[in-house]
Structure 1
Amino acid sequence: MTTPAMRLTIIGCAGSFPGPDSPASCYLVEAPHEDGTFRLLLELGNGALGGLQRSVDLREIGAVAISHLHPDHCLDMCGFYVVRKYHPDGAFDPIPVLAPEGAGDYLSAAYGIDDGFGMDGQFDFHEWDESTPVTVGPFEVAVVTVDHPVPAYALRVSAGGKTLVYSGDTGPTEALAEFVRGADAFLCEASFVESRDNPPNLHLTGAEAGDYATRGDVGRLLITHIPVWTDRDEVLRDVKSTWDGDVELVTAGSVYDI
């Protein structure tokens, strides 16, 4: 059996808050590296830390990448901090955390740390820089700014000649149209439906996600971040109005080889 260049596991995909069937955003990306496997976590939203442990030993996470500092994308980093600092077998070594500016202070405040050191003993925070891709393990990660109420980024993750683009949270933006070009898989949010009057600068509809996938000539479209109050069938119909390729609305626990 051929080993995939990357494997994507959907830990959590509920939009904006945890739902009855899924935690908030969290995606495990794995790739071969140095005779083993490197595990990169995209997001660690509220409720996701529990489900993550069904897929991987928390000690095996090699790095975390956070698209933006909303609780449904990063708040379980507080619980992950507890695991890494207070494990009875001893504290874990720090790992890279790629995130927007101020992530360390934000997460430390969320946990209630006021000692001046924050979470630095467990996490090595690095700010995103659009001009310079970052290498972690076998992965090269590039970012582009997208349209959201807080500083937010889409992520382009490459390894072994394959590419996964993750939209993060975004309203319609031309930056995403070019950023996804040629991706083998496009993990894209679609929180809104076309039939409603949606607020601007916040999220995409399925039709908008499909349009970016079509214009970018991606290999596969994976739709995520659908809130529990949104009709998934309507989202899929919207996607198919602009995209005629391979598409799936992801669910927690799904695994994709890229």
Structure 2
Amino acid sequence: MKLTVLGCSGSMSGPAGAASAYLLQAGGYSITLDFGPGAMGQLLRYLDPADLDAMFFSHLHADHCVDITGMHVYRRWFPDGPLPAVDVYSPADGMARTRQIGDDPEDETYSGAFHFKDFGPGARTTVGPMTIEAFPAVHPVPAVGLRIIGPSELDPKQDVIFGFTGDTDLCDGEIEMARHADLLLAEAAFEDGRDEARGIHMTGTRAGQLAQQAGARKLLLTHLQPWTSPENVRRAAESVFAGPVRPVEPGETYTV
């Protein structure tokens, strides 16, 4: 599997790029994980949207889903004719949320562009060689972490595990999601000693604890807001996690 960071800014787009959005590819199949502000433009740098096989959302806060309206326009009004509908998985009502963002009428079903599917905790599906499973997260709206098992980029005969927390505080569901992950992409929007709220986001320390308790091999930190220091969260995560830690940047790719 190959991960491309389309955007990694938390809560809003940032000076260096888009908000949370990631492209995961394996065996000729491509899926997106979240699709925040600026994601559509960045996706066009790496993939023809006609080749996108599915979209997954950890939750439906605007900074993780708002560019679905851009995907709708692209698929519906492409000059050479509409693109085929793509499956859209989310832990809440994706169709209703898309209507809210686009200010579309109640009879708009997006049937030509999207097939909306419920994907709450315990849900499981396959896209090509990738198996995607949803785990409980702790956030103010329905949210999940996503565990994806698929072929290794180095040895396609060997399966590897990629974990994506979405937005969450540290919880048992996320630990199970990240269990023995070869690569864990974890949000760490809060800084230790600055942000005291619980039940919303992780700090670098809690992201590191998640990786350590789950037995993950490598930790990537994401969803860092423009006012959050990547170095502060990295050092905090390294203080509790024995493996390698790196804050991601837009345009980076990682093989699993």
In the alignment, which residue of structure 2 is the partner of 1:46? Answer: 37
Q: How many residues align?
A: 249
Mapped pair 1:194 → 2:189: no
In the alignment, which residue of structure 2 is the partner of 1:3? Answer: none
* SS of corresponding position for 1:43: strand
In the alignment, which residue of structure 1 is the partner of 2:223? Answer: 225
For residues 42-191 of structure 1, the aligned pairs below 5 Å read 42-114=33-105, 116-160=107-151, 161-191=159-189
Moved more, 61-70 or 132-141: 132-141
In the alignment, which residue of structure 2 is the partner of 1:238? Answer: 236
Q: Does the CA-based 8 Å contact 1:183-1:218 persist in structure 2? A: yes
Q: Does the CA-based 8 Å contact 2:120-2:143 persist in structure 1? A: no
Task: State how far apart, in whole Å, the 1-side matches of 2:254 and 2:138 are.
Answer: 27
What TM-score results when the alignment is normalised by the length of structure 1?
0.94
Moved more, 56-65 or 85-94: 56-65
Task: State how far apart, in whole Å, the 2-side matches of 1:184 and 1:171 are.
Answer: 21
Query: 1:190-235: per-residue Cα shift (whole Å, max 9, x none)?
Result: 0011121421211000110111111111111111000010111111
Q: Does the CA-based 8 Å contact 2:135-2:177 persist in structure 1? A: yes
Query: 1:28-78: per-residue Cα shift (whole Å, max 9, x none)?
Result: 00001xxxx110111110111111111111211111001101011110000
For structure 1, the residue ranges without an aligned partner over 5 or more in a row are 1-5
Task: State how far apart, in whole Å, the 1-side matches of 2:21 and 2:195 are.
Answer: 28
Q: Does the CA-based 8 Å contact 2:50-2:84 persist in structure 1? A: no
Letter in 1 for 2:180: G
Change (3 A) 1:108 1:82: same
CA shift at 1:145, angstroms? 1.6
Task: State how far apart, in whole Å, the 2-side matches of 1:193 and 1:50 are.
Answer: 30
In the alignment, which residue of structure 1 is the partner of 2:20? Answer: 25
In the alignment, which residue of structure 2 is the partner of 1:15? Answer: 10
Kindly, what percent of the aligned residue pairs are identical? Answer: 35
RMSD: 1.1
* SS of corresponding position for 1:130: coil
Runs of 4+ in 1 over 4 A off after TM superposition: none
* SS of corresponding position for 2:235: helix
For structure 2, the residue ranges without an aligned partner over 5 or more in a row are 152-158
